[in-house]
Structure 1
Amino acid sequence: MVVEDDMLIAMELGERLADMGYEVLGPAHSIAEAEALLAREKPDGALLDASLAGGASSVPLAVALYAKGVRVAFCTGYDKVKNAPPELASAPVLTKPVSDADLKAGLEKLLA
């Protein structure tokens, strides 16, 4: 699952993941869109932009996903995710712009 508020980045990220052989759910451009997707399907993993449009944090969504057994990684312009609780301390953080090699390595770690 991809949650990214920037439409171009979301589209490009989805294409890159598909090219790597992943089935992509989304992208969702907001928490509400992500929740609507989750109501229909449970992904194996989620790649979340840490800060969405309007300053919304994806951390509460990450906590909810984690509680449902969905593995979570953040793809963000920051090197750390603010206000991440202890259960997300080991969540991979991929810093934008993320290379294909780092994206692949991060997803392999996430889904291992």
Structure 2
Amino acid sequence: MSTPADGGTERRIVLVVEDEYILAVELERALIDVGFEVLGPASSVDHALDLLSEQRPDAAVLDVTLGRETVTPVALLLKSLEVPFVLATALDASELARHAVFADVPNLGKPTDMTQLVNVVQGL
């Protein structure tokens, strides 16, 4: 966690992995507006893994499909680091069930309700 320069309370860091630029910016803004520090947004698996090699977040918001790749390697690393995460993806439950790493992970869907997303991330 980081501590603001003004000596206030620690800000929680949230990794955002989303390849749709406008949605990534919306996610980032919604999280910053309620006091989170955002790591990213990352638009690819490699970018997300690079960010995770530099800093450990407190939570993450992941889109499952990033172009032609899936976010599975990022999710596996987050699980190994015991970092909780939520999904913001258009994939349905049957598609997500094919990936064990996404079992029991909340999916907020797309389009993503930013108020719901903030509430869920605050609860992680």
Question: 1: distance between equivalents of 2:49 and 2:105?
Answer: 20
Partner of 1:65: 78
Cα RMSD over matched residues? 1.5
| Partner AA of 1:72 in structure 2 | F
SS in 1 for 2:108: strand
1:96 paired to 2:110:
yes
Structure showing greater Rg:
2
Question: 2: distance between equivalents of 1:90 and 1:19?
Answer: 28
Deviations 1:5-64 (A, max 9, x none): 11111111101111122111100000000011111100011111011112x111222011
TM-score by length of 1: 0.87
Q: Structure 1 residue 106: deviation in Å?
A: 2.0
- Structure 2 runs not aligned, ≥5 long: 1-14
From the two aligned structures, give the one with the greater helix fraction: 1
| Partner AA of 2:49 in structure 1 | E
Q: Structure 1 residue 102: deviation in Å?
A: 1.5
TM-score by length of 2: 0.79
Partner of 1:18: 32
Partner of 1:50: 64
- Structure 1 runs not aligned, ≥5 long: none
Q: Structure 1 residue 105: deviation in Å?
A: 2.7
| Partner AA of 2:26 in structure 1 | E
Aligned pair count reads 108
Partner of 2:42: 28
Question: 1: distance between equivalents of 2:18 and 2:97?
Answer: 17
Question: 1: distance between equivalents of 2:92 and 2:57?
Answer: 25
Question: 2: distance between equivalents of 1:22 and 1:6?
Answer: 21
